[in-house]
Amino acid sequence: MTLAFNFFWLLPIPVCLYIAITMYRRKQHLSYPVFWTYLCFQSARISIEFFLNYVSYTAYFYTYWGFSFLSLIFNLLLLRTIFIGVLRTYPTLDRLRRIGYEIALGCVWCAALLLVFEMSPPEDFSRKIMRAELVVSFTAVGMFIFVVLACVVLGIKWRSGISGVAAGLGVLGTSDLAVYALWVRGGQVSAHELLASWVSTLAFDTAVGIFAFYFILCRVETGVAHTLRPDLIKWSESVRGAVSK
């Protein structure tokens, strides 16, 4: 069991590095700088955590939760990059592009705080950390849903690379939300530690597989349409006029 878990734990390292090298050769790191940095970060993160797991549990504990928090922040930055990048070619949605994500982020963040702190109060330091991670993961999933719904409502078609990043982030956010909710509400943390570890590991492997499919196998980027539905253009213009008055 330990050998199998270690295999799936370390599997994303060569895949992430291969994606990063492929993107660099194709100059895609210039189009997706945040995502390219994210791949390098995850490769370094897994390597450091795996090493510390066999050296010092205390060092591994703090490193794991620190990297987990940074990873969730990365997810939010990637979602913001997707949202702004998709809307950049639509001048009529310039105001939505500049402030829409931040407004939605604030609303989802407040909702996450209210929901999570309605749960039973944390009993120890570990559970306090998990509560903070749960708030951030809830926010990440909420923002993923917001970005998807915004593009669906506006009739915007994503490019293939953006679609791959968003799909992978959706898998990661959903698994993180489920794992942290299980840990916060599930009583003894140790009773669910093995299950949560397998869920997180397999979900991350799945997300990396999605990244690989879109950035290694799918070589052609699908163009972004530069026209919106006429009714949405009229709505945007009416809102702009009302705000300016």
Report pLDDT digits (tens) over 36-76.
999 999 999 999 999 998 898 889 888 988 898 888 888 88
Tell me the CB-side half-sphere exposure of residue 210, using CA atoms within 13 A. 19
The CA distance from 243 to 95, in Å, is 10
The CA distance from 39 to 157, in Å, is 24
Q: Which two tokens stand for residue 210?
A: 């999605």
Tell whether 117 is covered by a domain. Answer: yes
Tell whether 130 is covered by a domain. Answer: yes
* pTM, two decimal places: 0.77
- Supply the range of the domain harboring residue 105: 12-234
Tell whether 242 is covered by a domain. Answer: no
| Confidence band for 11, pLDDT divided at 50, 70 and 90 | very high
Tell whether 38 is covered by a domain. Answer: yes
Q: What percent of the chain shows pLDDT beyond 70?
A: 64
Tell whether 208 is covered by a domain. Answer: yes
Name the phi and psi angles at 224, rounded to 5.
Answer: -95, 130
| Amino acid 173: pLDDT | 82
Per-residue exposure over 15-25, b if at least 16 CB sit within 10 Å of its own CB, e if not: bbeebbeebee
Tell whether 5 is covered by a domain. Answer: no
Tell whether 2 is covered by a domain. Answer: no
| Amino acid 94: pLDDT | 64
| Confidence band for 15, pLDDT divided at 50, 70 and 90 | very high
Per the structure, the count of domains in the chain is: 1
Q: Does the pLDDT at position 119 exceed 70? A: no
Question: Angle CA(12)–CA(13)–CA(17) in degrees, nearest 5?
Answer: 110
| Residue that has been written with the tokens 């809307």 in this structure | 87
Task: Confirm if 150 and 80 have CB atoms less than 8 A apart.
Answer: no
Tell whether 4 is covered by a domain. Answer: no
